[in-house]
């Protein structure tokens, strides 16, 4: 479904204004800006001070995970894993414990251990809100993507339970926040995964309309929905209807989808 390479890694929490002399705060700030080499230098400096060493290793681990996403080098993944393993969780506050768990989950995902990654992400879905709404959305997205990858590795008749988990969680999220980008996408995607193509079609339309409630006014969600509908839901829907001319049926559905988008896009 969605490619995880298009997803951003979660931002690290920065509490209060960052001072130039605060190596840990500077490392977090630079990480969030995507300046990973400079962030690593600052995190290394912070790791030399016992009071900030464990927090710094979380930052180092997250930097090295991002480097692995870019390089695909096993050395970078090993270094990330070692940095996260070196953290003593007894020295962390509540926010940092959530960040460490997310780091573990990302590492497991990048090792292709999707079931384990999903369990780790699920453990912090609720608590991730302490990192902010954006971080919570991304944890939801990583969790659902991990489950989706797990489902794709199983025979079709063993996937329903996994997509039911996604659908149940995302329905709850949508009820709490109708503008949730993760929920908007994954409700439609999970229904498709369950074989409910008509439900997926309707859910995609509903999510398209609700997308304007998202902080970015729906730009990211609508791009993802458009791909899901064009590449997945429409072909599945046409195949299930078994029309005499499948290509003509798909063309008609694409025209209907395009007209719907036009009617509901500013």
Q: How many residues does the chain have?
A: 266
pLDDT(19) > 90: no
pLDDT for 13: 54
Q: In the chain, where are the structural domains located?
A: 1-153, 156-266
pLDDT(2) > 60: no
pLDDT for 11: 55
Confidence of residue 242 (pLDDT cuts 50, 70, 90): confident
pLDDT(20) > 80: no
pLDDT(8) > 70: no
Share of the chain above pLDDT 70, in %: 92
- Long-range contact list for 243-246, CB < 8 A, 24+ apart? none
Q: How far apart are the C-alpha atoms of 145 and 142, rounded to whole Å?
A: 5
Backbone phi and psi for residue 127, each to the nearest 5 degrees, phi listed first: -75, -20
Angle, vertex CA 193, rays to CA 72 and CA 215, nearest 5: 70
Q: What radius of gyration, in Å, describes the C-alpha atoms of the chain? A: 21
- Write down the residue that tokens 């302490």 correspond to: 130
pLDDT(252) > 70: yes
Confidence of residue 3 (pLDDT cuts 50, 70, 90): very low
Mean pLDDT rounded to a whole number for the chain: 91
Q: How far apart are the C-alpha atoms of 138 and 183, rounded to whole Å?
A: 11
pLDDT(15) > 50: no
pLDDT tens digits, 128-169: 999 899 999 999 999 999 999 999 999 999 999 999 999 999
* Residue 169 CA neighbour count, 13 Å, CB half: 24
Share of the chain above pLDDT 90, in %: 85
| SS3 label, residue 105 | helix
Q: How far apart are the C-alpha atoms of 99 and 128, rounded to whole Å?
A: 8
Query: What is the mean pLDDT of the segment spanning 195-222?
Result: 96
pLDDT(38) > 90: yes
Angle, vertex CA 238, rays to CA 144 and CA 204, nearest 5: 40
pLDDT(121) > 90: yes
Crossing angle (nearest 10°) for helices 114-123 and 133-152? 150
Q: How far apart are the C-alpha atoms of 26 and 151, rounded to whole Å?
A: 40
Report helix, strand and coil shares of the chain as percent, to nearest 5.
75, 0, 25
pLDDT for 163: 98
Backbone phi and psi for residue 216, each to the nearest 5 degrees, phi listed first: -95, 15
User: Which range, of 14-23, 52-61, 180-189, averages the lowest pLDDT?
Assistant: 14-23
Contact 146, 117 (CB under 8 A): yes
pLDDT for 21: 37
Q: Is the pTM of this model over 0.85?
A: yes
Query: What is the mean pLDDT of the segment spanning 35-49?
Result: 93
Q: In the chain, what is the straight-line distance between the N-terminal and C-terminal CA atoms, in Å?
A: 26
């Amino acid at each position: 479904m969605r490619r995880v390479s298009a997803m951003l890694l979660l931002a690290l929490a920065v509490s209060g204004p960052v001072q130039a002399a605060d190596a840990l705060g500077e490392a977090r700030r630079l990480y969030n800006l995507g300046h990973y080499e400079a962030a690593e230098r600052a995190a290394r400096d912070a790791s030399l001070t016992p009071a900030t060493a464990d927090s710094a290793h979380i930052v180092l681990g997250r930097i090295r995970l991002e480097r692995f996403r870019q390089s695909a080098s096993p050395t970078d993944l090993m270094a990330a894993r070692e940095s996260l393993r070196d953290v003593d969780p007894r020295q962390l506050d509540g926010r940092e414990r959530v960040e460490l768990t997310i780091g573990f989950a990302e590492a497991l995902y990048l090792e292709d251990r999707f079931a384990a990654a999903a369990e780790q992400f699920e453990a912090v879905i609720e608590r991730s809100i302490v990192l902010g709404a954006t971080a919570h959305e991304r944890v939801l997205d990583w969790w659902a993507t991990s489950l989706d990858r797990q489902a794709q590795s199983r025979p079709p008749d063993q996937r329903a339970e996994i997509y039911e988990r996604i659908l149940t969680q995302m329905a709850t999220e949508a009820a709490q926040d109708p503008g949730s980008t993760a929920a908007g996408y994954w409700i439609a995607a999970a229904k498709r995964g369950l074989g409910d193509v008509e439900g997926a079609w309707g859910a995609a339309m509903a999510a398209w309309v609700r997308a304007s409630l998202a902080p970015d006014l729906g730009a990211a969600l609508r791009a993802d929905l458009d791909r899901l509908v064009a590449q997945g839901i429409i072909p599945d829907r046409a195949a299930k209807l078994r029309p005499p001319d499948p290509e003509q049926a798909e063309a008609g559905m694409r025209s209907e989808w395009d007209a719907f988008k036009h009617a509901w896009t500013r």
